[in-house]
Amino acid sequence: MRLKLFRYNPEDREQRYDIFEIESRPGMSVLAALFDVQKKHDDSLAFRYSCRGAVCGTCAMLINKVPRLACRTQVAKLLDGSLEMDLAPYPALEVDIDWNPEEEVLVEPLPHLPLIRDLVVDMEPFFAFYRAVRPVFKPEGEAPARERLMDRDAVSALEAYTNCILCGACFGACPVDAKNPDYYGPAALAKLYRFHIDPREAGDGSRLELANTPEGWWACEFHTNCMRVCPKRVPPNIAIGKARRELSEQGREPER
């Protein structure tokens, strides 16, 4: 099989695509194919990974024009078309290069983030939005003598949002992030909502204000790319819809 890889050299700012012939193995992941390139063809290839098991979230890339984790995406499934996904369009999905999806796996960096080198991007803008929603548990009052218990319904309500591994795939898949660099993005908003509905906090709704701006809850256009690409089935669009409904019902919409 052939891998077509985006390359970027920060020294001369050259951008290009390189093609490598790889011997594919049953169950081979895109990450394993990148290791083969590094070991056998070009040891200067830069990419980021850590756990190799869809846990750390560091290997998100644009693979065949869909943001995915390289460690859990199998090359055979890409080539037989079984992983095709129909996403709402945005510029990074446009195919303006020569690419045959039946014979080549195309790997590019995660969109909407500054390039560092080859497939490595600077995640700082993504994490800046994450920090802005204050993603830490902050109960009021004295700590109880034993753990703070939640009932099963409360756990079910926030469970889906706790699975986020901060890979940024949703950020790279969002047509609003593509055109508005001030938009918080799906992951940060989902995390904010997760703490908003945590019954162990004050529950006065003040957390929702952290994104009650035109660049926060109200910028989402509900394309739902975020939910479709998320490797952990987190549904940020549902969190955003619920937050907006709550704010609207309470007459707390910002002026736009």
Residues that bind ligand FES (CB under 6 A): 49-52, 54-59, 69, 71
Cβ closest to ligand FES, residue 32 vs residue 157: 32
Cβ closest to ligand FES, residue 68 vs residue 207: 68
Per-residue binder mask for ligand SF4 (CB under 6 A), 143-172, x = binder = ---------------------xxxxxxx--
Cβ closest to ligand SF4, residue 1 vs residue 157: 157
Letter for the amino acid at 162? Answer: T
CA distances from 159 to 60, 133, 190, 211 (A): 23, 18, 11, 21
Give the one entry of ligand SF4, ligand FES, none that residue 230 binds, where binding means its C-beta sits below a cut-off of 5 to 8 angstroms depending on kind.
ligand SF4
CB of 162 to ligand SF4, least distance (A): 10
Q: What is the dihedral sign for C-alpha 55, 57, 61, 66?
A: positive
Per CB under 6 A, contacts with ligand SF4 among 202-231 are 229-231
Cβ closest to ligand SF4, residue 1 vs residue 56: 56
CA 99/CA 229 separation, integer angstroms = 22
Q: Is 236 in the site for ligand SF4 (CB under 6 A)?
A: yes
Per the CB < 8 A criterion, the answer to whether 220 and 177 are in contact is no
- Residue 20's SS3 state is strand
Question: Residue 187 class from Cβ within 10 Å (0-12 exposed, 13-18 middle, 19+ buried)?
Answer: buried
Per the CB < 8 A criterion, the answer to whether 197 and 121 are in contact is no
**What is the total count of residues that contact ligand SF4 (CB under 6 A)?**
16
What does the DSSP 8-state code read for residue 219?
G
Per the CB < 8 A criterion, the answer to whether 195 and 135 are in contact is yes
Give the one entry of ligand SF4, ligand FES, none that residue 75 binds, where binding means its C-beta sits below a cut-off of 5 to 8 angstroms depending on kind.
none
Neighbours of 89 (CB within 10 A): 12
CB of 172 to ligand FES, least distance (A): 14
Which residues in this chain contact ligand SF4 in the complex, by CB under 6 A? Answer: 164-170, 186-187, 190, 229-232, 234, 236
